[in-house]
Structures are given as C-alpha cells and as structure tokens.
Chain A
Amino acid sequence: MNSTYPVRLQLNGEARHFEVEAWVTLLDLLRERAGVTGTKKGCDHGQCGACTVLVGGKRINSCLTLAVMQDGREVTTVEGLADGDQLHPIQQAFIEHDAFQCGYCTPGQLCSAIGLMNEGHASTVAEVRELMSGNICRCGAYPGIVAAVTEVMGLEQRQDNPDRPYQPGTVPA
C-alpha cells in the first residue's frame, strides 16, 4: 500500500501542502491535519451539511470527498469568510437574525449560503429554503437562517409567511 500522497491546497487564501493517506477525507484533512476546525463533522455521511465548504466557489460536503481528489484546488472554510475583523455580510446577518442556537451547523450553513448565492439559482424565499435543504439545523433556527440569507440576497419578501411575521428572538406562533 502506497503510504501517502501530496495534496496542495489554496486554503483560505494560503498555499498549504500536505502528505496524506488516500483514505483521508477533505474534512479530516481540514480538522486533523490543517488545524482548521471551524468546519464541523456531524454525520460524516453527507446527510447533515455541517461539513460544507467551498471548493472553487462551489459548496460540497467535505466528508464525502477524499483530500487527494482535491489536490490543486482552492478551498474556503468558515475561517476564510471574514476579511480580517470585518465579518462577511452573511455572518453579520446570521448574528442580526439570531440564525443559530448551539452553532454547530453554522459554519456549514454559512458556506452553503455563500455557495447558494454564487450558484445563482434561488430567486424566491421558497427556493432559498429548498436550496438550503442540504443543511440540517437541529435547534430549528430555520426562520432566522432564511431571513438572514434572503436579506443578504436582497430578496423582497424575507419572511416565510408574511401572515406570520417572524421576529428574531421570538418563537413564531
């Protein structure tokens, strides 16, 4: 068995070089080898979205790809979203809309939201909900997440249901 393989990544704007076994996932490389632990391991089976990162600007589940398969790619994790102390607009919107409780899914939600905007296929609140469905939030912060994403996208209708307006910090009746 060949021992290790070279993996060169442009990780959050920085050129990084690793030597890893073939069976190391991108998620495990990020967390265990690169020391970048913002990206979370939830289910490790592509069912929860907590491990979502951006590769070449597109969102993927980092648990379902091998690090060696991403050799030479540009990878952005939650650590790479802010510009110094200046939060990315989606990060600021998550704070303002109380879009998390425990926060475990949040790095994946943030990367997924940016991927969603990059992809450009959502133009309504319903489409935002559908195209964010790969990210599970077991605290149920979905109304805040949808409000944050739609606000940053500049969508007019920010609420799921205008008849039941949602206020951050409250429980929708």
Chain B
Amino acid sequence: MNPVSYLRAGDTGEALSHLGDGARFIAGGTNLLDLMKEFVMRPSALVDINALPLDYIAQTAQGGLLLGATARNADTAYHPLVRERYPLLTAAILAGASPQIRNMASNGGNLLQRTRCIYFYDVAVPCNKRQPGSGCSAIGGLTRQHAILGASEHCIATHPSDMCVALAALDAVVHVRSAGGERQIAFSDFHRLPDDHPELDTTLLPGELITYIELPRATQFAGHSYYLKLRDRASYAFALVSVAAALDIGDDGMVREARVALGGVAHKPWRMPSAEALLVGQPANAGNFARVADALLAGARGQGENNFKPAMASKAIVRALELAAAGTYDNTGSERDGSD
C-alpha cells in the first residue's frame, strides 16, 4: 500500500476536523486495508475512529435499537437484544465473511464496504467506479457476481453486504454527523444505483461520519423472518443471491405486513414496497410468494454469465418467504434446512 499518515481521534469533533482531502476514517479496516494493498484506494491519511464512544448497542424508548458505528459485526450479531428482536439481522451478519472478519469489521464500515467486482479490484483495467469515465470492463466480461437489477451502461457491480440486506428489510435509519450538524438517512436512500455516477456508492457526503444505525421496533416480524443466502460454497463466500424475508402474520393466517430485500442482484439492497404490498391481506402461501417474486424481478436482466440469476432469485424469494412463514425463529444455523 502507499505511504499514509495515521491519527487516532479522541472524539467525534477531532475526527471530523481531520477529514481533509485524501483522508479516510478507519474502524475495522478489513475492506479499506485490503483495497489499499491493491492500490484501489489510496488515502493519504487514516483517521482511526475506534476511540470514539460509538461502540454501543442501545435500546430506544420505542422498542428499537441503536447500533453504534464502531460496534463490531460479531458483537452486534450475538447481542441478546439483537437476537431477540431482530433475528433476521443476526442471521444476515453471521452469513457474511468469517468469524475473524466479523470480530474486526464495524457496523459503519459494513455499510461503506466496496463492491467485490473483480474489475474494480484490478487496477490494470478500466472501471468507472474506480476511475470515472474509463469504462466498464465487467460488461461483456465475467459476470457471475454481477447485477441483474438497476444496473446502468456504466456499471453492473453489486453491493456485497449481507448485513445491509437485513437492514434494508428492517427499515433502518442511518444517523450521520458532520461539522455542520447531524442528519438522518433512510436506509433505502443510503446506497444508490450506479446511473452515470458509479463512483458514488452512497449518499453520504464528504465530511460526514456515520455515528449509528437506528432500528425501528419490529417485534411483529421476529417470529417470521428468514435470511436465505445462495453462494458458490457452503460458507465464507459472497452471495450470488440472498433474500431477507420478514412476515407479520395474523391469527387468521393472513399477512398483515411483508418485507423482502434482495442481495447480490443490484448496486444496493433491492426492495420494492409495491411488491411487498401484494401480500397484505393474503394467505402466506407459495402462490402468493411467487407473485411477489415476479413483481420484484420485473425487468431483471442477466449479463451473460449470470443469466441464471433471475430464475435463481425467483425461487430463492419463494423459499425464503416459505421459511419465514414457517416460523423458523433461530435461523442462524448454516445446515438447518440444508439450503445454504
């Protein structure tokens, strides 16, 4: 990696004051240092935010939780209140990376991790995300990991996070701070589609620091959620397709509310409230789940090597909703149903 300076910030104000040109915050560092070794990212300064008091998991008065930006992914996944109230989030986090990486990686950093597109990582080839205007090497190339929804002629990369797929389904809110004050970003607005600016992964502005992620109360889903991840090996691989499914089912067996978010298929976790609304007031059965899948995947288009993905995603959506409806409460075991 290139020579870089280092500063351990003592508080949020100090951290923000040092975020000048070329500086990056570092917490876990698991993605940033990897990218620096490949010269994909070349910050001139690293501002270590691990001393900031942002490593908490706290309750809100409304029955939700606040996930501090520097709390570790593992500590978040295994936290008793996360397991109890948001088993979907626990399952999604534990489906990602390895125990070592989850021990290091921060919640804020998980949101900001970059795509694992092989062309983004290869500085010898054009990539609009790495070098705007240089072109997209993935289009027409090796696209097994690439997008089938929301892609543009400039970029077909996918967002690699599992955690973010669950956060999208759970309507999380990202709280950020800058020298000018604080603001909130709805999770659906946090990550963006590539359009003609694939170099921008998120709507976070220069000079802003993620301070915490807010999870609204979601106890209605805790008994009926499932995170299904399909990948090229049984563990420690990025998703080809993943589905975060959550259902609120009434005593009459009818769906009161549904959430479905997809990973591995787009530049951001993919949600479509109009597709979820198709289930409201309907029985939770495979036929209705297939209608949701059809709506969610309307316009899905393979890039060649990943032409299998729309069909795979369709079946995965139905399967995840079936497992959610069945009430699989603790779905963190990798071999529980043999499907992931």
Residues of A within 8 A of B (CB): 1-2, 5, 21-23, 25, 44-46, 49, 52, 58-61, 64-66, 68-69, 112, 115-116, 119, 121, 126-127, 129-135
Contacts and interface: CB of A to CB of B under 8 A. Distances in A.
A84 B62 CA distance: 55
Interface string B86-97: 000000000001
A21 B29 CA distance: 16
B46 interface: yes
A12 B7 CA distance: 27
Contacts of B100: 46, 49, 52, 59-61, 112, 115, 134
A69 B5 contact: no
30 contacts: A2-B5, A2-B6, A23-B2, A23-B3, A25-B33, A46-B100, A49-B98, A59-B99, A59-B100, A60-B100, A60-B103, A61-B30, A61-B100, A64-B33, A65-B104, A66-B6, A66-B33, A69-B29, A69-B48, A115-B103, A126-B333, A126-B334, A127-B333, A130-B333, A130-B335, A132-B99, A133-B99, A134-B100, A134-B101, A135-B98
B318 interface: no
Name the residue in A22, A52, A126 with the highest tally of chain B Cβ atoms < 10 Å from its Cβ: A22
A112 B98 CA distance: 11
Contact of A130 (B4, B6, B36, B334): B334
Contacts of B103: 58-60, 115
A52 B100 CA distance: 7
B190 interface: no
Given A65-B29, A126-B335, A22 B99 contact: no
A64 B236 contact: no
Contact of A22 (B5, B98, B334): B5
B147 to A, nearest CB: 23
Given A2-B6, A49-B98, A66-B6, 10 more contacts: A1-B3, A22-B46, A23-B36, A45-B37, A59-B100, A65-B28, A65-B33, A69-B29, A121-B78, A126-B334
Nearest to A25: B33
B334 A46 contact: no
A40 B70 CA distance: 28
A38 to B, nearest CB: 17
Interface of B: 1-6, 26, 28-30, 33-34, 36-37, 46, 48, 50, 74, 78, 97-101, 103-104, 234-236, 333-335
B217 to A, nearest CB: 26
A2 B6 CA distance: 8
A94 B22 CA distance: 47
Contacts, number: 94
Contacts of A115: 99-100, 103
Contacts of A135: 98
B101 A46 contact: yes
A104 to B, nearest CB: 17
Contact of A46 (B1, B34, B78, B335): B34
Contacts of B78: 121
Contact of A64 (B6, B34, B99, B235): B34
A66 B5 CA distance: 12
A60 B29 CA distance: 12
Given A5-B6, A22-B4, A44-B37, A64 B334 contact: no
A64 B104 contact: yes
A116 B99 contact: yes
A141 B3 CA distance: 39
A25 B36 CA distance: 12
B121 to A, nearest CB: 10
B24 to A, nearest CB: 12
Contacts of B26: 66, 69
B6 A68 contact: yes
A45 B37 CA distance: 8
Contact of A119 (B33, B50, B99, B235): B99
Nearest to B97: A134
B98 A134 contact: yes
A68 B50 CA distance: 12
A116 B100 CA distance: 10
A102 to B, nearest CB: 21
Contacts of A65: 28-29, 33, 104
